């Protein structure tokens, strides 16, 4: 397994073994304690019974009676059994067990002597006899070695499976993040798990989508900016060349002035757009009286409208929103100026503002040519112009609606356009305060 998987595996293994040890220690102690006590008790009673029967047999039938009794006993209880007198003399064989007896006396009523066999020693109540029983030990701790090894093996295997189920997807996610970090913006984890790892993977995918869209948009913007700057710069250098060689220097100079003016409009608009993107830290959101703002815009635009003999008609109710007043003013003004620019001579431009649910809805409507259906959503992308040749004469660079759109979404609002036959209806939705 890979690095992450292995280290998780070792951790899980250690934790599981530690948990097992903590749980098994007291468990073994308790079962051992009660096991020995109960066993001891039973063996004790059994030995007493065997002793009494042996003494009874001896007293009734002498040595041969005792021998017969012990022979029967050993049929059921393997091991050696013998009865001695208080001096340690075997009452069947006459052999001498005094050493064993001395040892048993020293032990008192404690647990049996342990060796290759357990030796139990029981005196009779009157102290005249001693009964000895030997038994093979039931088991040693090593008897279970095979099972211990088996349990450890099974636990290790289960830990491996657990570690793999965590480590493998994490490793996959790490590889995806690395690929994304190296610039592959299409890298996605695409995990279907419903646990925390799956949640993390999905959060990454969402982030990837978002960063991907943003970066693509920024790259396109940069490409468009370079493209837009190239034509006026080319015309400028052409005009500069003319200024040196041509007879009509005044015309060449006028050309240069016009291109410079165009360039500075372009750069000004670009600056405005980056401002609309804005540094979130420096954004100041203040309460804004939307109807007052619209009145100001309508007033400012009257000069342009008058030049085309157009009427700007404003209908608004009192609306309070929050935001950056200057950004919003320019965003709405861009929309109104478009309407005036594309409105036919003598027509009306209608600005309406009214509340709906928790939003203020501002609409700007003109009676001009509108926008072809397939261009409706694209007019909000930077430098997009429906008919560049028509617009170049009117001086638009195609940034007005892009600026407006960015400023509006900065205010958690949205902007859209629809054809009204005739004319265009631009709708701006802003959250009310």
- Residue 119 interacting with ligand ATP (CB under 6 A): no
CB 73, CB 47: distance < 8 Å: no
DSSP letter for each residue of 411-424: TT-EEEEEE-SSSE
Span of 12-20, 22-30, 85-93, 379-387 interacting with ligand ATP by CB under 6 A: 379-387
- Residue 263 interacting with ligand ATP (CB under 6 A): no
Interatomic CA distance for residues 332 and 205, integer angstroms: 35
Phi, psi (rounded to 5 degrees) for 416: -145, 165
The sign of the CA dihedral 38, 39, 42, 47 is: negative
Span of 97-105, 106-114, 158-166, 365-373 interacting with ligand ATP by CB under 6 A: 365-373
132's tokens: 């000895």
Interatomic CA distance for residues 178 and 157, integer angstroms: 30
Query: Residues binding ligand ATP: what is the number (CB under 6 A)?
Result: 23
- Residue 232 interacting with ligand ATP (CB under 6 A): no
**Nearest to ligand ATP of 301, 401 (CB atom):** 401
- Using CB under 6 A, which of 397, 408, 410, 430 touches ligand ATP? 397
- Residue 379 interacting with ligand ATP (CB under 6 A): yes
Residue 226: name the closest of 257, 266, 265 by CA.
Answer: 266
Q: Alpha carbon 163 to chain centroid distance? A: 18
In angstroms, what is the minimal distance from the CB of 304 to ligand ATP?
12
Using Cβ positions, the residue closest to Mg ion within the complex turns out to be: 400
- Residue 369 interacting with ligand ATP (CB under 6 A): yes
Span of 17-25, 215-223, 385-393, 408-416 interacting with ligand ATP by CB under 6 A: 385-393
Interatomic CA distance for residues 227 and 232, integer angstroms: 10
Work out the number of other CB atoms within 10 angstroms of the CB of residue 68: 13
Interatomic CA distance for residues 167 and 344, integer angstroms: 67
**Nearest to ligand ATP of 255, 262 (CB atom):** 262
- Using CB under 6 A, which of 130, 131, 180, 342 touches ligand ATP? 342
- Using CB under 6 A, which of 83, 297, 399, 430 touches ligand ATP? 399
Work out the number of other CB atoms within 10 angstroms of the CB of residue 266: 18
In angstroms, what is the minimal distance from the CB of 334 to Mg ion?
5
- Angle at 370 (CA atoms; ends 366, 375), nearest 5 degrees: 140
- Using CB under 6 A, which of 51, 81, 262, 385 touches ligand ATP? 385
**Nearest to Mg ion of 370, 400 (CB atom):** 400
In angstroms, what is the minimal distance from the CB of 371 to ligand ATP?
5
């Amino acid at each position: 397994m890979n690095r992450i998987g292995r280290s998780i595996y070792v951790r899980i293994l250690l934790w599981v073994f530690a948990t097992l040890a903590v749980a098994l220690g007291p468990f073994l102690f308790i079962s051992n304690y009660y096991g020995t006590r109960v066993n001891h008790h039973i063996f004790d009673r059994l030995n007493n019974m065997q002793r009494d029967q042996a003494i009874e047999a001896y007293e009734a039938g002498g040595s041969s009676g005792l021998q017969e009794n012990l022979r029967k006993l050993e049929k059921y209880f393997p091991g050696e059994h013998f009865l001695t007198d208080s001096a340690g003399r075997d009452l069947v064989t006459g052999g001498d067990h005094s050493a064993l007896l001395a040892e048993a006396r020293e032990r008192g009523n404690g647990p049996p002597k342990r060796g290759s066999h357990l030796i139990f020693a029981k005196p009779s109540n009157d102290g005249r006899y001693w009964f000895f029983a030997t038994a093979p030990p039931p088991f040693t701790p090593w008897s279970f070695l095979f099972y211990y090894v088996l349990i450890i093996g099974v636990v290790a295997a289960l830990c491996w499976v657990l570690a793999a189920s965590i480590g493998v997807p994490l490793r996959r996610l790490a590889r995806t993040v690395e690929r994304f970090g190296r610039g592959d913006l299409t890298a996605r984890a695409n995990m279907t798990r419903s646990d925390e790892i799956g949640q993390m993977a999905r959060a990454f995918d969402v982030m990837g989508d978002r960063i991907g869209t943003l970066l693509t948009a920024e790259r396109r913007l940069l490409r468009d900016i370079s493209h837009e700057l190239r034509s006026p710069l080319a015309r400028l250098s052409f005009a500069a060349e003319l200024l040196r060689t041509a007879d009509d220097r005044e015309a060449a100079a006028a050309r240069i002035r016009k291109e410079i003016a165009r360039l500075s409009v372009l750069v000004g608009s670009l600056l405005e757009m980056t401002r609309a993107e804005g540094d979130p830290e420096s954004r100041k959101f203040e309460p804004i009286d939307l109807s007052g703002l619209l009145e100001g815009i309508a007033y400012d635009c009257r000069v342009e409208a008058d030049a085309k003999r157009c009427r700007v008609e404003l209908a608004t109710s009192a609306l309070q929103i929050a935001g950056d007043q200057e950004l919003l003013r320019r965003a709405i003004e861009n929309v109104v100026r478009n309407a005036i620019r594309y409105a036919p001579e003598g027509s009306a431009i209608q600005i309406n503002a009214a509340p709906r649910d928790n939003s203020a809805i501002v609409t700007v409507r003109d009676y001009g040519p509108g926008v072809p259906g397939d261009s409706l959503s694209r007019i909000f992308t930077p430098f997009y112009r429906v008919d560049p040749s028509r617009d170049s004469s009117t001086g638009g660079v195609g940034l007005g609606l892009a600026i407006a759109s960015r400023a509006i979404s900065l205010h958690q609002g949205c902007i859209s356009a629809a054809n009204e036959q005739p004319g265009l209806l631009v709708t701006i939705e802003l959250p009310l305060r």
